[in-house]
Amino acid sequence: MITDVIREDARGVVHSLGRLLDPLAGSRVLVTGAAGFLGAFFMDVLEAFNERHATNPALVTAMDNFMVGPPERISHLLGRPWLTLRTADVSRPQEIEAEYDWIIHLASIGSPSIYRSNPLQVIAANVQGTWNLLEAARKGAKGMLSFSSSEVYGDPAIVPTPEDYNGNVSFTGPRACYDESKRLGETLCSTYFRLHRVPVKVIRPFNVYGPGQRLDDGRIIPDLLRAALAGGPLVLFSDGAATRSFCYVSDFTEACLMLLVMPEADGEAFNVGNAEEVAIAQAAHTMAEVTANPPLPVLFEKSAETAYLVDNPQRRCPDLSKLHRLTGFSARVSLKEGLGRSLASYREESNPLHRPKRAS
């Protein structure tokens, strides 16, 4: 499940960041959720980093319970001398005993179609898992990234949405297990920074997509990619008017790694994404054009899943001023280019539409 596109993207992140990543050399790094979409790409970036630092590599512990992330996604890394792979659940404190210099906490379930079916597991990972990782960071970590979500804003009254917006979130709806547990996870992070000076940064991702994402994930870009690989049509289970700001995975990861090694970001939350706001229908038509000439048809239908659109935000676009002021970061990959690279990556695989089924 590793492809040339993914390797090229990962090496591009390391090349772009250059000496900024030097503090990782020879250090101990923990990545939770390491087989998930984002976690696996972070692992590929760490491999690319270690290719450049072969005599003093980062010593990486990859942790996952493989409930959602497939082991095959990181199987190409098995046997690397710098890698320790652990099958473990971050919600159990006894699973995290070693000390680490850098912690990248991505263990969670981000797909609405999965987390609605597994609400207690979601809450456990987002709350108890985050608590356990913060305790691990107290042992002397130099930096920690805790990944929250743009869903903490709910259906925002302010768009583009800044980090100091408190949110408009249902705490009992079908998405509440995810949204509210992410919000409590952020409370834990800010509390540990205030009480114990744990060097944690909270990341609020905005609709990150790219190669390696599960095509049965249930979110809009994987759905479009799956339909495109099958030859169409592209079906939207809405009117397509809702907006999102899609960020390609290499852009996202680059910004996050900048924040990881910056002490001045400690204790803060950051929106990370792309500032371009795009209607879902526009994204579908872009996918249709990237896939074929003439473009694949785009259809609008009603979902059989009754909770599909409940509490679904109508607009989602980040205010990235805070991130840009600190890092100078701006996303570079356009939606058209990112969809093209994603499609090319899946086409490298022998049978991307018949991967092992996710857990449920």
- pLDDT value for 52: 97
Q: What is the spatial distance between Cα 160 and Cα 148, in angstroms, rounded to a whole number?
A: 18
Q: Which of 115, 153, 178, 346 is catalytic?
A: 178
Residue 107 has pLDDT above 90, yes or no: yes
Q: Which residues pair with 200 in a beta bridge?
A: 144
- pLDDT value for 135: 96
- pLDDT value for 307: 62
- pLDDT value for 61: 98
Please indicate whether residue 271 or residue 171 has the higher confidence score (pLDDT).
271
Extents of the domains making up the chain: 4-214+249-276+315-335
Confidence class for position 78, pLDDT limits 50, 70, 90:
very high
Please state which architecture CATH assigns to domain 4-214+249-276+315-335: 3-Layer(aba) Sandwich (3.40)
Beta strands in the chain (DSSP E): 28-32, 59-64, 83-87, 102-105, 143-147, 200-205, 208-209, 234-236, 243-244, 247-248, 269-272, 278-279, 298-300
178 is catalytic: yes
Residue 360 has pLDDT above 60, yes or no: no
Tell me phi and psi for residue 48, to 5 degrees: -60, -40
Question: Contacts for 300-303 with beta carbons within 8 Å, 24 or more apart?
Answer: 300/235, 300/236, 300/238, 300/239, 300/240, 301/235, 301/236, 301/237, 302/237, 303/237, 303/238
Q: What is the spatial distance between Cα 258 and Cα 253, in angstroms, rounded to a whole number?
A: 9
Confidence class for position 306, pLDDT limits 50, 70, 90:
low
Give the tens place of pLDDT for each residue, 178-191: 999 999 999 999 99
Q: What is the mean pLDDT of residues 113-126?
A: 88
- pLDDT value for 355: 60
Residue 269 has pLDDT above 60, yes or no: yes
Tell me phi and psi for residue 300, to 5 degrees: -120, 120
User: What are the residue ranges of helices labelled H in 138-248?
Assistant: 176-196, 220-229
| Cβ-based neighbours of 157, under 8 Å, separated by 6 or more | 165, 168
- Average pLDDT value for the chain: 94
